[in-house]
Structure 1
Amino acid sequence: MTNQMKRFENKVALVTGGRSGIGRAIARRLRDEGATVITAQRGEDEDFESIAADFSNPYTPEQIVKEVIVRHGQLDVLVNNAGMMQEARIEEMTLEDWQRNLNVNLTGPFLMIRAALPYLRKTRGSIVNTGPIEGLAANPGHAAYCATKAGLHGL
C-alpha cells in the first residue's frame, strides 16, 4: 500500500460558516484532503475545531485569524463562506438590518482577507469566497442579500 501525501497535508484551513451547508461540505473535503480545518461561525462546531464568531462585529475577523495563528502557527487557506439572508423588501428593511447584512456578507469577508493576507503570503496560500447565484441577479425579497453577495463576487 502506497502512503501518498494528500493535497492539503500540513496545511491549515479556516472555513467561515463551516458548521452547515456548503461550508460543512468544504470543511469535510479539505479535511479529507489532509488539511487541519478550523471553522468559525456563531456557536460551536461538534465536528471540527472551531471558533465562535459574530461577523457583524468588525473586530471579529482579526481576532479569528490571530486565534488560528496562536493555535497552529500558520494559515494556508481562507474560505469566506459565512453569510446571512434576511427575507425583506427594501421598503420593509431598516437601516440597521441593511447594515447587519452588509457587515456579515461583505465587510466581514473583506476584513477576513485583510487580516489573513500577511499569513497567506508567507505560505503562498489561497482565498476562496463563496457566493450564490443571487449575487448575479436581483430578487426583490432578498434585496440586501443580492446586493451584498454581488459585492462579494466583485471582491
Structure 2
Amino acid sequence: MARFDGKTVIVTGAGSGMGAAAARRFSAEGANVVLVDIEKDGLDRGAKDLPGERTLIKQTDTGKRQQAEEAVQAAVDRFGGVDVLINNAGTLAQGDVTETAEEDWQRVLDVNVTGYFHMAKAAMPHLKQAKGSIVMTSSVSGLGGDWGMVAYNASKGAVSNMVRAMALDHGRDGVRVNAVCPTFTDTGMTQDMKTDETIAAFLQRIPMQRIGQPEDIAAVMAFLASDDAGFVTGVNLPVDGGLSASNGQPAQ
C-alpha cells in the first residue's frame, strides 16, 4: 500500500518498540517520517534502514514545550508541513499510591501526558491546514485499572480522555484524533515484566493466545491515520487480542 505518499508523519518514541515499528510502517507506505525520541542512539538505529531523502531524526524531550515546538518546526522546514502526528512516547512506573515516589509520578505524567499535549498543540495549526490526524498510544490501562500501576493508569486514562476531547474540539477543523490501546506488547519497556509467569497469566486472558508485537500496533496506527478511517474520530481502539472482550469472569 502507498496510503501516505507525499505525506509527512511525526512519530514520537520512535527510537524503539512501537514507535520504531510505526516509523517503518509509515515509511514503507510512502511517508516522509520524522523520528522523535529523547535517545539519540535509538533514533540512529531506527533511521538507518529508512530512505534518507524521506527521513528526519530529531532528538527531543517532548515533555519540554520548546523542544516539542522545535521538533514540529523541523518537520515543517524539511518537508513543508505535517499530515499525521503519532503521539507514542511512553514510560511507566510500578507501585500503588503509597509506593510511588513523587518524582516517578511526575516523570510518567511529563512523558505520557504533557509531552502529548505539547506535540499536539505545536502540530495542530499544520494538521488543520492538511486536514490531518493524530493517533495517540493509550493502553487497555487507560480503559480500566491495574493493580500496582497508579501513575501509569492515571496517565493513560488522561490520554484516552484527551483523545475524546480533542476529537470534539477539532472535528470541525477536519482533524481526526484517535488512540490505540494495546495490551502487554513485546517492547523494551516491558522486558523487565516479561517473565514466564507474567506471560502465562496474560495468555489466560488473551483469546488469541499470544502477546502483542510492535508491528501489530503500528498496523492499526496506520489504519487510523489513513483515509480508510476517514469517518473515525474520538475512538480508543483496543489492540489486545480480544482481552477486553471479556467481562472479567474466569474461563469455565
TM-score greater than 0.5 by the shorter chain = yes
TM-score (norm 2): 0.57
1:38 maps to what in 2? Answer: 34
Number of aligned residue pairs: give it: 151
2:46 maps to what in 1? Answer: 47
1:110 maps to what in 2? Answer: 117
Q: Percent identity?
A: 39
Query: How far did 1:64 drift?
Result: 1.1
Q: Judge conservation of contact 2:5–2:29 (CA < 8 Å) in 1.
A: yes
2:143 maps to what in 1? Answer: 136
Cα distance in 1, alignment partners of residues 82 and 63 from structure 2: 23
Q: Deviating runs (4+, > 6 A) in structure 1?
A: none
Q: Judge conservation of contact 1:14–1:75 (CA < 8 Å) in 2.
A: yes
Cα distance in 1, alignment partners of residues 100 and 67 from structure 2: 25
1:10 maps to what in 2? Answer: 6
Instruction: Choose from 58, 65, 83 the match for 2:65.
Output: 58
Quick one: which amino acid aligns to residue 47 of structure 1? G
**Greater C-alpha radius of gyration:** 2
Query: How far did 1:12 drift?
Result: 0.7
Structure 2: runs of 5 or more not aligned: 48-55, 163-252
Cα distance in 2, alignment partners of residues 59 and 96 from structure 1: 22
Deviations 1:66-119 (A, max 9, x none): 121122221111000001111222112232321221111111111111110101
Quick one: which amino acid aligns to residue 89 of structure 1? D
Cα distance in 2, alignment partners of residues 20 and 60 from structure 1: 20
Cα distance in 2, alignment partners of residues 58 and 96 from structure 1: 19
**How do 1:57-96 residues align onto structure 2 when only pairs under 5 Å count?**
57-96=64-103
Deviations 1:98-146 (A, max 9, x none): 1221111111111111110101111111111111111112223211111
Computed over aligned residues only, the root mean square deviation of the Cα atoms, in angstroms, reads 1.5
Q: Judge conservation of contact 1:65–1:115 (CA < 8 Å) in 2.
A: yes
Aligned-partner SS, 1:84: coil
Aligned-partner SS, 2:156: helix
Greater displacement, 50-59 / 24-33: 50-59
TM-score (norm 1): 0.89
Q: Judge conservation of contact 2:27–2:33 (CA < 8 Å) in 1.
A: yes
Deviations 1:42-75 (A, max 9, x none): 2221232311112332332212111211222211
Aligned-partner SS, 1:106: helix
Structure 1: runs of 5 or more not aligned: none
Q: Judge conservation of contact 2:16–2:46 (CA < 8 Å) in 1.
A: no
Q: Judge conservation of contact 1:58–1:103 (CA < 8 Å) in 2.
A: no
2:241 maps to what in 1? Answer: none
Q: Judge conservation of contact 1:6–1:34 (CA < 8 Å) in 2.
A: yes
2:128 maps to what in 1? Answer: 121
Cα distance in 1, alignment partners of residues 2 and 63 from structure 2: 35
Quick one: which amino acid aligns to residue 32 of structure 1? A
